Amino acid sequence: MLYDNAQFISLLAEVYRETQHPLFAERLSETVEWVRRDLSIRHFSHTAFAASLDADSDSAEGKYYVWTAAEVDKVLGKDAEDFKKTYDITSFGNWENVNILNRLKNPEYGKMHEERALLALRQKLKTVRDRRVPPMLDNKVLADTNGLMIAALARTGFALGRPEWIEAAENAFAFITNHMTDKDGKLYHSWCDGRPKHAGLLEDYANMAEAALALYDVTQESVYVTRTTLWVSILDKEFLDEKSGGYFMSSAQATDTPVRPKSAHDGAVPSGNGTMVGVLARLYQILGNTAYEERARKTAEAFFGEVANHFFPFATLLNNSNALLNPVSVIILASSSDAAFENVLRNISIPAMTKIVLPESKILPASHPAFGKTQVDGKTTAYVCFGQQCLPPVTTPEALENLLKQERGKRRNPAANDG
């Protein structure tokens, strides 16, 4: 499923930012390249991503991907025994009498030559696997799940320094805005065989808005903020529950939905209302418009009664409510691009952080906590703001890294500050 892989990529990239573990980087690269190779749907100059690959192939679930020990022996010969130990392959299997290759029992990353040898052996198996009957591709393009993947590619491309992944995210975003959007900017839910279908739902707008802000974060191109504000205005006009807060799943103009449910429960994908709390909170951090903060609060508060009784299905809502209540923004004032400061942000995990890079000539809104802040002695200068409080400026990458890690530690464990 596209949405499973998008969420896996996003989570692993966040872990990689903090750990810099080479195994995580390798798995991210493998997964992203698989998505780009096997799930891509091209239309004219734009490429988005298909909804899924079937689980079944050749009339059996998972048959394309699994191996028996005997098959591995035949392909790898003398190298099979060590490979089978590494990847948990046994004669009786680890899943329904066959084997799914995994390293759960051997997660340690080996020496470079060892990992390269394993890669070469996996390539041998893949050459054989490519001769099997492949699973069918569900070639629908869905706006909501593409939004998840676009955001994942943008953030992972930044975290691993892979600009081609960011370009793929921008291209998929252009697919949606060019081929799945009407003249008024309203989204369609799906696209297949050259035609968009069905009016967009809450999750389509929420996930594409999240994708737009992820692209803004890594490119600093204002067009993505502009598109986000357009989609939010459509949601406020057609989806908003003005009486109780939050957004309905479908538009008030929809004619094929006799009931308009409203929920913040996460399912296989994050809930639209939970996602919108984060989108609105970030828009407030970027634009300083308090209307976005107020809308985010009302959206979150609409579901607090349910959360108090049963909080497990509300992870997205809770995470983004924390980002709303405890926002972190890093404002970098620079006359030109400064890769050293960018690298600091690349290598630290603060999921709720909003990054704004500005030339000194550009002024932040008066309501922004960094309004009026300037460069120090003409140097690239960073301001770290928690809520409405900005810390003293720093002018070196090392100082920014130390400040972020120190303040993050304080806020994760407030009790430690009392000792």
Q: What is the pLDDT of residues 173-208, one digit of tens each?
A: 999 999 999 999 999 999 999 999 999 999 999 999
Residue 419 has pLDDT above 80, yes or no: no
Q: Could you tell me where the DSSP H helices lie in 62-162?
A: 69-76, 80-86, 112-129, 143-160
Angle between helices 2-19 and 22-38 (to 10 degrees): 150
Of 41, 49, 228, 283, nearest to 149 (Cα)?
A: 49
DSSP 264-325: ----SS--HHHHHHHHHHHHHHHH--HHHHHHHHHHHHTTHHHHHH--GGGHHHHHHHHHHH
pLDDT per residue as tens digits for the range 101-141: 999 999 888 999 999 999 999 999 999 999 999 999 999 99
Give the CA-trace dihedral at 64, 70, 71, 74, to 10 degrees: 180
Please, which contacts does 374-381 make with residues 24 or more away whose CB atoms are closer than 8 Å?
374/333, 375/333, 375/334, 375/335, 378/335, 380/332, 380/333, 380/334, 380/335, 380/338, 380/341, 381/332, 381/333, 381/334
- Name the residue with higher pLDDT: 352 or 38: 38
The pLDDT, as a whole number, for residue 148 is 98
Residues 6+ apart with CB under 8 A from 153: 9, 32, 165, 166, 168, 169, 172
- As separate numbers, helices (DSSP H) first and strands (DSSP E) second, the chain gives 15, 13
Q: What is the pTM of this model?
A: 0.93
* Burial category of 359 from C-beta neighbours within 10 Å (exposed 0-12, middle 13-18, buried 19 and up): exposed
For residues 244 and 250, the answer to whether their CB atoms sit within 8 Å is no
- Quote the pLDDT of residue 413: 59
Please report, as a single letter, which amino acid is at residue 338.
D
Decide if 358 contacts 332 (C-beta within 8 A). Answer: yes
pLDDT per residue as tens digits for the range 74-109: 999 999 999 999 999 999 999 999 999 999 999 888
Q: Closest by alpha carbon to 354, among 273, 288, 264?
A: 288
Backbone angles phi, psi at 60, to 5 degrees: -145, 140
Mean of per-residue pLDDT scores for the chain: 93
Nearest C-alpha neighbor of 340 from the set 251, 401, 254, 275: 401
Question: 292-345: per-residue pLDDT in tens?
Answer: 999 999 999 999 999 988 889 999 999 999 999 999 999 999 877 788 999 999
In angstroms, the CA 179 to CA 183 distance is: 11
